[in-house]
Structure 1
Amino acid sequence: MGAVAVTLKWSAVALLMTISSAAAAQDAPAVRFCPNRPSLGASGCTTLPGQVQVELSGFDWQRDDDGETREDLIRSEVTARIGLTSNSEAQIAWTPLGTLRSRDKASGDVMRQTGAGDVTLGWRRALSHPDGKKLSTAVQPYVTLPVGRSGIGEGDWSAGTVLPVFWRINKKWSIDFTGQLAAAVDEDGRGRHFDATGVFGVGYALTDSVTANAEVSVERDQDPAQHVVRTLAAASVAWKLTKRTQLDVLAVAGLNHDAPDARIALGGALVF
């Protein structure tokens, strides 16, 4: 009887431990982690209610050489995505620090401007699959407030709408398109004009935690000073360290004269 009692005792303990583990797993908060970074476009997924996803660009360098002037812009960016409902989130993006270096090639004169950039407020509403799986779509209106220093900020307010579409074909492949329509700030910092951008991308999962993306972006900018088309090619790699953290790198090259020549951005994301 003693052996039977011991066996029953330990069986009951094992059963209780199993039930407790299952209950703990059910009580553990779900995580929905699908950063926009490092894509040129946007994802169609939204952050869960009560969670905050932070996306950081610790180093973002861009060079633009038009033949007469060479501009180097170095900045840092932070975006907070705050879950509101199961299919919507609020977004706040800010450039806390930026440095613009302009060099006149004819005279050799160099001008530097340093300061904070503008603040962008947005709201994303997922139209399908807010978890980012299968065919995920969303609409994202936004407005940019001119709180930044001239040269780093745009100098006036702007607004627009982002329309991301993401299709996860299988565990390895995905394709995406992001359209953006905007009332962009004029080059002289006064007034606005129509600007449209389309980003086409293909993603491939190298491993369960590392994904590579290739993208092409085409922008039609109807600034009153000059109507231009900017075409970019981009390659990026994202490494998810955990279910809540990511490191990433983005490299961009201009494909025509009106596009910036090159850009490199290093950063990451986390959700809590």
Structure 2
Amino acid sequence: MRVVAVGFACVLLASSAFAADDGLRDFSTDRPNKSSSATTVDAGHWQVESDLFNWSRSSDPDFVQRTMSTVLPTLKLGVTNNTDIELTLPTRVWVRNTFRSGRTSFSWSTRGWSDITLTGKLNLLGNDEGDVAIGIAPYVKLPTGSTGISNKQTEFGVYAPVTWKLDEDWSLSVQLQLDALASDNNPDKKRFNAQTFVQLSYAMTDSIVLSVEHYAAHKFNDGTGSAIQTFDLAAAWLVQPDLQFDISAYLPLNKAAPDLVVILGVSKRF
């Protein structure tokens, strides 16, 4: 998988030698934080957005879980001036679990493929001009992944990102997402899930954007678990008009959140 990741990055770097089309909108991605862009890919153009490395650690007093994955590409195709379709392909995932009780400890590992996700995004306002952009995007996750990695259930939902350009350097984004997910108590039943995102971004230079984000996920009608809250830090580097690298870190705001998530990624428009 290391070779795949390096090869993927090399292809993107090589393709960046081609000049950007002056008629295209400014490059916009759903990375690096959890919230998404309200704008869509230009009609007739492709865009690839992918993790290059994703590592996380979660724990409680008796249990530690470490998860790692590499290339996780989302392929986007601009269908019309204000719609695109998106396909998130599976990635290879490694999970290492460690249980401790007193002087006793044991570990086990799981490896496999993640699920496929299909998304359609519609821009309602601000795709080409204006200081406000609004989008809506329904999605469905298909249970194509490996046992132990996938919950083997179809899940679906919809999210709505809104972005305000505050001035030449600052922008504010908010997003609401509603999901129908497999219940923790009974995977054959669905539970309602709501996610909220608030992100503040600062263009430090023409090519470097820094951002902070508050994220919260709330479970309903399930009776297990608690809300997850994180404080997310991210930086994006626009190397070329159509090529971006990014790094992000998600920090816990409560015990239900992972201890740490670190992600490196890349995006390229064709």
Is 1:154 the counterpart of 2:151 in the alignment? Answer: yes
Q: Contact 1:222–1:228 (CA<8 Å) still a contact in 2?
A: no
Residue correspondences, number: 247
Q: Amino acid of the residue matched to residue 160 of structure 1?
A: G
- 1:224-257 CA-partner distances (Å, limit 9, x unpaired): 2504111100000000001100000001111101
Whose radius of gyration is greater, 1 or 2?
Answer: 1
Q: Percent identity?
A: 26
Query: Which of 177, 194, 197 does residue 195 from structure 2 map onto?
Result: 197
Structure (1/2) with the larger helix percentage:
1
**129, 153, 166: which is aligned to 1:169?**
166
Residues in 2 aligned to 1:130 and 1:34: alpha-carbon distance in whole angstroms: 10
Contact 1:32/1:48 (8 A) holds in 2: no
CA RMSD, 1 decimal: 1.8
Q: Tell me the amino acid that sits aligned with residue 182 of structure 1.
A: D
Change (3 A) 1:206 1:53: same
Checking the alignment, whether the CA contact within 8 Å between 2:229 and 2:254 is kept in structure 1 is yes
TM-score by length of 1: 0.86
For residues 66-85 of structure 1, what are the alpha-carbon distances to aligned partners after superposition, in whole Å with 9 as ceiling and x for unaligned? 22211111113111111000
The alpha-carbon deviation at position 185 of structure 1 amounts to 1.8
Counterpart position of 2:66:
72
Structure 2, unaligned runs of 5 or more: 1-18
The offset of 1:138, in angstroms, is: 0.5
Q: Name the structure 1 match of 2:131.
A: 134
Whether the 8 Å CA contact 2:184–2:224 is kept in 1: the answer is: no
TM-score of the aligned structures, taking structure 2 as reference length = 0.87
d(CA) in 2 for partners of 1:61, 1:79:
18
Pairing 1:37–2:31 present: yes
- 5+ residue gaps in structure 1? 1-24
What does 1:61-140 align with in structure 2 at a 5 Å threshold?
61-76=55-70, 77-106=72-101, 107-131=104-128, 134-140=131-137
1:57 maps to a residue whose letter is: D
SS of 1:219's partner is strand
2: CA distance, partners of 1:131 / 1:153:
38
Shift of 1:60: 0.5
Moved more, 132-141 or 36-45: 132-141
Q: Hey, what does 1:19 align to over in structure 2? A: none
- Flag the 1:113–1:223 CA change in 2: closer, same or farther, 3 A: farther
- SS in structure 1 opposite 2:240? coil
Paired letter, 1:50: G
